[in-house]
Amino acid sequence: MSKKVLYWLPALSCMLLIFHLSSQPRFTATGEPIEDFLIFKMLHMIEYGVLATLIFYALYNTVAQKLTRTIRWSAVLAVLYAVSDELHQVYVPTRSGTIRDVLIDAVGIILALIIIRRYFAGRKRP
């Protein structure tokens, strides 16, 4: 297996996990609507922040480009996956796809990429 493929395995595994989780019927964590909403939306932000980080890792190690461009492409790919996930949920019983969830996912993506940007600020590519 090529080294480039290995760099993409974590991101692809994360995408498969997100797909699997969004294929499950809706459930509640606490039984309280407001608490469940907050818990699940925080999880949305975390899972898409992780995905954006893994996509960044793959791009950074497989495509020679400037940091800003790598971050932008990481954001674009992660948001596109968020959109596709919400479209997928439209066809899952008890689930629904919403633009609000894509926006919440985007917040997690942006926060993760801001952290990455700050981490790499002033560093040179190896």
Tell whether the model's pLDDT for residue 124 goes beyond 90. Answer: no
Mean pLDDT, residues 38-62 = 95
Q: Is the dihedral of CA 19, 23, 27, 33 positive or negative?
A: positive
- Tokens coding 59: 């791009």
Provide mean pLDDT across the span 54-70.
Answer: 94
Confidence of residue 56 (pLDDT cuts 50, 70, 90): very high
CA–CA dist 113, 85 (Å, integer): 20
User: pTM, whole model, 2 decimals?
Assistant: 0.91
